Amino acid sequence: MTSKNIILIPARLESSRLKRKLLLNIADKSILQHTYESSLNSKMSLQTIILVDSIELFKHCKTFTDDVLMTSKKHKNGTERIYEFVKSSETNFNIVNMQADEPFTDHKLIDAIFKELMDGNEIVTAVYKISDNIIDPNRVKVVLDKDDFALYFSRHEIPYNFSKKNKSKKNIHIGVYGYTTNSLNRINSYNDSYLERDENLEQLKFIENGEKIKVVISNNKTIGIDVIQDYELVKKHYEKGKY
């Protein structure tokens, strides 16, 4: 059965590190509106739907699109919010989960993830490479195998450069995911794992349960807005025409 390519943007009003960040403006548009409009540049997606958890976000989205749905406030993360949408439909989907707080994700990267899903990979994500060590725990590091499947994700510096002579680049996670309907049905059944809890990284639960996560390597760095410094940096880049 042919699967429908769609982009879903799970959006939660409250956020712990930067309050109500999705409603903060960059120029004359909210972060969430920028994310939605960036998604429309995809050449492989048939539709983008924003999945919100509050009436305030719902009303805000209605000012720029009709493709918005209310979902439960009880979900712990975006994957659960997406699964609520998927399980209510009889359609098979290839889904790209765009992070609502990464407003300028490259549409070419989104389409590369769709291609991996269409080629048979059931969970896909992305990284960019950087030469410098990054200590910031908000920038998640990824170790890959020789076929570009994820071995591990961590907020710590991995791999650790023990000899101090190794010049290999680090892989920094980009918080965009691809799922099939089948993979969402599987991962929704998994219990929380100790790795997930320790690192506060949901994708570790998938690996711990034997899932393979294909990783697309992007040529472009994407900034997720987690803290006020990220927000100021993204605004500065936007004002300089870098997006």
Kindly tell me if the per-residue pLDDT of 220 is higher than 80: yes
β-bridge mates for residue 193, sequence order: none
- pLDDT value, residue 1: 63
Region for residue 46 given its phi and psi (left: phi exceeds 0; alpha: psi -120 to 50; beta: otherwise):
alpha
Mean pLDDT taken over the chain: 93
**Which pTM was predicted?**
0.93
Cα–Cα dist 33/168, whole Å: 37
Q: Which of 102, 110, 100, 115 is nearest to 52 (CA)?
A: 100
Q: How many residues does the chain have?
A: 243
Name residue, tokens 């409603």. Answer: 23
- pLDDT value, residue 230: 92
- pLDDT value, residue 16: 82
Name residue, tokens 């707080």. Answer: 101
The CATH homologous superfamily to which domain 4-239 belongs is: Spore Coat Polysaccharide Biosynthesis Protein SpsA; Chain A (3.90.550.10)
- pLDDT value, residue 228: 93
Task: Provide the residue ranges of all domains of the chain, joining segments of one domain with +.
Answer: 4-239
Rg of the chain on CA atoms, in Å: 17
